[in-house]
Amino acid sequence: MSAQNTGTDDQTTLTTDTAALAGELFAPGVGAQAGPPTTPAPGTGTAGDTPPGAHSHGGPAPTGSPAERFTSTDPDAFPRPTGREEEWRFTPLRRLRTLLDGAPSTTRLQWDTDLPEGVELTSVPAGDPLLQGLPEPVDRLAALTRRYSDGADVLRIAKEAVLDRPVSLRLSGTGSEDVVWGQLVVEVGQFAQATVVLDHAGLARYSGGVAFLLGDGAQLTVVSVQEWAPGTVHGGQYDAVVGRDATLKQVVVTLGGDLVRLVSNVQYAGPGGQADLYGVYFADESQHQEHRLWVDHATPHCRSYVVYKGALQGEKAHTVWIGDVRIRPAAIGTDTYELNRNLVLTDGARADSVPNLEIETGEIVGAGHASATGRFDDEQLFYLCSRGIDAETARRLVVRGFFADVVQHIGIPALQDRLMATIEARLGALPDLEEQPVEVV
Partner 1 sequence: MTSPTTAPTASGTDAGSVLEIRDLHVTVGEGDDAKEILRGVDLTVRGGETHAIMGPNGSGKSTLAYSIAGHPKYTITGGTVTLDGEDVLAMTVDERARAGLFLAMQYPVEVPGVSVSNFLRTAATAVTGQAPKLRTWVKDVRTEMEALEMDSAFAERNVNEGFSGGEKKRHEILQMRLLKPKVAILDETDSGLDVDALRVVSEGVNRAKADSPVGVLLITHYTRILRYIKPDFVHVFVAGRVVEEGGPELAEKLENEGYAAYVKDSNEQAKLEASQG
Give the footprint of partner 1 on this chain (CB under 8 A): 378-380, 382-394, 397-398, 400-405, 408, 434, 438-440
Looking at the Cβ atoms of 240 and 251, the one nearer to partner 1 is 251
Measured from the CB atom, the residue of 94 and 387 that comes closer to partner 1 is 387
Nearest approach, Cβ of 405 to partner 1 (angstroms)? 4
- Beta-strand ranges (E) seen in 158-245 are 167-188, 193-214, 219-228, 233-242
Least distance from partner 1 to the Cβ atom of residue 343, Å: 11
Closest by CA to 238, choosing from 137, 327, 310, is 137
* Cα angle 135-139-144, degrees, rounded to a multiple of 5: 85
Minimal distance in Å, beta carbon 425 to partner 1?
Answer: 17
Closer Cβ to partner 1, 76 or 379, answer by number: 379
Min dist CB 12 to partner 1, Å, is 13
CB of 382 to partner 1, least distance (A): 6
* Interatomic CA distance for residues 37 and 14, integer angstroms: 35
Spell out the alpha helix ranges (H) of 290-439: 378-385, 391-407, 413-428
CA distance 81 to 100: 9
Pairwise CA distance, residues 170 & 232, whole Å: 16
Please report which helix (H) or strand (E) contains residue 87, including its range.
Answer: none
DSSP secondary structure letters along 295-338? EEE-STT-EEEEEEEEEE-STT-EEEEEEEEEE-TT-TT-EEEE
Pick between residue 326 and residue 396 the one whose CB is nearest to partner 1. 396
Residue whose CB is less far from partner 1, 82 or 386:
386
CB of residue 370 vs partner 1: minimum separation in angstroms? Answer: 13
Closest distance of CB 322 from partner 1, Å: 23
Q: Do residues 213 and 186 touch, judged by C-beta distance below 8 A? A: yes
Cβ proximity to partner 1: between 12 and 44 the closer is: 12
Gap between the Cα atoms of 98 and 287, Å rounded? 16
Q: Which is nearer to partner 1, 138 or 406 (CB)?
A: 406
